[in-house]
């Protein structure tokens, strides 16, 4: 017998909502049945694009019996109230990140998912396997540098209004706090700063340092200052015997620089199957021994690897959204289904973002979780 489809209603269909729906509607077993929003012309156009009725009021949509799951793609300050309405009407909820604007709100919403789709990226698993394998030794340090564009964010946009967005750590940083927590486990925000664009009230740059197990620190920087065509990101993880760099905020390309013995080389080739390996130096038997961190190492080669060459970022982005919806919709039909992200991800990433935001603004009450 064919399983009944998960019927989706969407609240808010702006820039990102429309993009996400184009992917969610491709997922087998998911059917878009309704839309609610601010009745802008763009929402009517989106409804026509998907062949669904014109947008209705939020209360009406969440109370429709034919809706099983609500996707919220409104600005952050609306997520909590709209999610509560949907939950009270007995609907499942996938909310755009952040899950809420305060932890109190997030605590109460234990049946909610935030769209932290980074963990569905195949490169997430590759890096996690690399860390676990210790093929490059212990993890020592990392950074995420986000040189984001503000071309679509005019001065009056909700993004700059901290009461509506929660600030950059909350609105955007949550993705990367969740990603690194998936790799390194729980962390604690140690320090954070923010900068205002001179002559304006716009806070456009933030950074923080987070400490993970064994004392390793990771720096997170976000600046919304660039022109669209120069939007770029870089993530680096440093290990005892090499480093790994990922590019773009939805990473597709991984570059590795390493020294290794034969077994570690084989393990790296196994984890990054299909990667291009370029040998930089070979070490003859008399030169194999070296030391780092006061440890004696046996090394036969220095090389670089490139994994994911030629992959398209926008295609990967769509793939993640489809994978997230497939995973979560499966759970609405079968509670034994093991999901990749759960309510905990939304809550923990928000806790870290709020801690960073507090520290950056000179409030020291709630560091870490
Ligand atoms: N997961 C991701 O990769 C990703 C990427 C971009 C944006 N986002 C998130 O998506 C959300 C929306 O961002 P956007 O860039 O699409 O913003 P946007 O301003 O383009 O769209 C917001 C939409 O919400 C609607 N809206 C506003 N007030 C409303 C109300 N009271 N009731 C119903 N609808 C209302 C607007 O009409 C608009 O359609 C944000 O939370 C953002 O963080 C997520």
Q: Would you say the CB of residue 256 lies under 6 angstroms from ligand 1?
A: no
Q: Say what the pLDDT of residue 27 is.
A: 93
Q: Would you say the CB of residue 38 lies under 6 angstroms from ligand 1?
A: yes
Residue 323: how many other CB atoms lie within 10 Å: 18
Average pLDDT along the chain: 92
Percent of the chain with pLDDT over 70: 95
Q: Say what the pLDDT of residue 107 is.
A: 64
Q: Say what the pLDDT of residue 302 is.
A: 98
Q: What would the pLDDT profile of 297-353 be if each residue is shown by its tens digit?
A: 999 999 999 999 888 888 989 999 999 999 988 888 888 899 999 888 988 999 999
**Residue nearest atom 40 in ligand 1 by C-alpha distance:** 75
Mutate to test the pocket of ligand 1, among 9, 17, 322 (most ligand atoms within 8 A of CB): 17
- CA gap 26, 236 in Å, rounded: 33
- CA gap 56, 25 in Å, rounded: 19
Q: Is the pLDDT of residue 115 over 80?
A: no
Q: Is the pLDDT of residue 114 over 90?
A: no
Residue 41: how many other CB atoms lie within 10 Å: 7
**Residue nearest atom 7 in ligand 1 by C-alpha distance:** 16
Q: Would you say the CB of residue 13 lies under 6 angstroms from ligand 1?
A: yes
Measured in Å, residue 13 CA sits from the centre of ligand 1 at 7
Higher pLDDT, residue 249 or 169: 169
Local structure of 266: helix, strand or coil: helix
pTM exceeds cut of 0.85: yes
Q: Say what the pLDDT of residue 108 is.
A: 55
How far apart, in Å, are the Cα atoms of 64 and each of 57, 73, 74, 112, 184? 11, 19, 19, 19, 42
How far apart, in Å, are the Cα atoms of 269 and each of 128, 137, 282, 306? 15, 16, 17, 11
Q: Would you say the CB of residue 318 lies under 6 angstroms from ligand 1?
A: no
**Residue nearest atom 25 in ligand 1 by C-alpha distance:** 12
- Point out the ligand 1 atom lying closest to the alpha carbon of residue 115: 1
**Residue nearest atom 9 in ligand 1 by C-alpha distance:** 96
Q: Would you say the CB of residue 11 lies under 6 angstroms from ligand 1?
A: yes
Higher pLDDT, residue 168 or 106: 168
Q: What would the pLDDT profile of 231-259 be if each residue is shown by its tens digit?
A: 999 999 999 999 999 999 899 999 999 99
Q: List, in sequence order, every residue forming a beta bridge with 148; answer none if it has no partner.
A: 224
Local structure of 335: helix, strand or coil: coil
Query: Given pLDDT bands bounded at 50, 70 and 90, which one contains residue 274?
Result: very high
Q: Would you say the CB of residue 12 lies under 6 angstroms from ligand 1?
A: yes
Measured in Å, residue 16 CA sits from the centre of ligand 1 at 6
Beta strands in 13-80 (DSSP E): 30-36, 69-72
Measured in Å, residue 260 CA sits from the centre of ligand 1 at 46
- Point out the ligand 1 atom lying closest to the alpha carbon of residue 43: 39
Highest averaged pLDDT of the listed ranges 34-38, 159-163, 328-332, 333-337:
159-163
- Point out the ligand 1 atom lying closest to the alpha carbon of residue 171: 43
**Residue nearest atom 21 in ligand 1 by C-alpha distance:** 14
Do 108 and 93 meet the contact criterion of CB atoms below 8 Å apart? Answer: no
- Point out the ligand 1 atom lying closest to the alpha carbon of residue 117: 1
Query: Given pLDDT bands bounded at 50, 70 and 90, which one contains residue 38?
Result: confident
Q: Would you say the CB of residue 114 lies under 6 angstroms from ligand 1?
A: no
Q: Would you say the CB of residue 223 lies under 6 angstroms from ligand 1?
A: no
Measured in Å, residue 14 CA sits from the centre of ligand 1 at 5
Q: What would the pLDDT profile of 89-107 be if each residue is shown by its tens digit?
A: 999 999 999 988 888 877 6
Measured in Å, residue 76 CA sits from the centre of ligand 1 at 8
- CA gap 296, 286 in Å, rounded: 14
Q: Would you say the CB of residue 97 lies under 6 angstroms from ligand 1?
A: yes
Strand order in the sheet with 254-260: 188-196, 203-211, 217-226, 139-149, 232-239, 242-247, 254-260, 301-307, 276-282
Q: What would the pLDDT profile of 39-79 be if each residue is shown by its tens digit?
A: 788 889 999 999 999 999 999 999 999 999 999 999 999 99
Q: Would you say the CB of residue 76 lies under 6 angstroms from ligand 1?
A: yes
Residue 111: how many other CB atoms lie within 10 Å: 12
Percent of the chain with pLDDT over 90: 82
Q: Would you say the CB of residue 75 lies under 6 angstroms from ligand 1?
A: yes
- Mean pLDDT, range 253-269, rounded to an integer: 97
Q: Say what the pLDDT of residue 364 is.
A: 57
Measured in Å, residue 39 CA sits from the centre of ligand 1 at 14
């Amino acid at each position: 017998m064919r399983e009944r489809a998960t019927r989706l209603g969407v609240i808010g269909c702006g820039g990102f909502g429309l993009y996400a729906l184009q992917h969610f509607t491709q997922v087998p077993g998911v059917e878009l049945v309704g839309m609610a929003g601010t009745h802008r012309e763009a929402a009517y156009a989106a409804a026509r694009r998907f062949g669904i009725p014109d947008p209705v009021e939020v209360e009406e949509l969440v109370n429709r019996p034919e809706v099983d799951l609500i996707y919220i793609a409104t600005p952050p300050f609306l997520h909590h109230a709209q999610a509560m309405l949907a939950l009270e009407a007995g609907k499942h909820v996938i909310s755009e990140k952040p899950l809420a604007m305060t932890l109190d709100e997030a605590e109460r919403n234990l049946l909610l998912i935030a769209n932290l789709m980074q963990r569905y990226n195949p490169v997430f698993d590759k890096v996690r396997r690399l860390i676990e394998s210790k093929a490059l030794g212990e993890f020592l340090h990392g950074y995420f540098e986000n040189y984001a564009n503000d071309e679509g964010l005019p001065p009056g946009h909700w993004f700059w209004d901290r009461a509506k967005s929660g600030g950059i750590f909350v609105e955007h940083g949550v993705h990367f706090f969740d990603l690194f927590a998936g790799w390194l486990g729980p962390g604690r925000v140690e320090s954070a700063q923010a900068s205002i664009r001179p002559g304006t009230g716009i806070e456009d740059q933030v950074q923080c340092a987070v400490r993970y197990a064994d004392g390793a620190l990771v720096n997170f920087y976000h600046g919304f200052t660039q022109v669209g065509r120069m939007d770029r990101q870089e993530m680096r993880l440093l290990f005892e015997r090499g480093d790994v760099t990922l590019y773009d905020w939805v990473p597709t390309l991984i570059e590795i620089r390493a020294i290794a013995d034969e077994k570690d080389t084989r393990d790296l080739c196994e984890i990054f199957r299909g990667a291009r390996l370029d040998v930089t130096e070979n070490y003859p038997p008399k030169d194999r021994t070296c030391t780092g961190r006061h440890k004696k190492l046996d090394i036969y080669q220095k090389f670089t690897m490139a994994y994911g060459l030629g992959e398209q970022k926008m295609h990967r982005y769509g793939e993640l959204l489809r994978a997230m919806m497939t995973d979560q919709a499966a759970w609405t039909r079968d509670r034994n289904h093991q999901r990749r992200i759960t309510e905990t991800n939304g809550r923990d990433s928000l806790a870290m973002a709020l801690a960073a935001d507090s520290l950056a603004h000179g409030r020291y009450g709630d560091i870490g979780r």
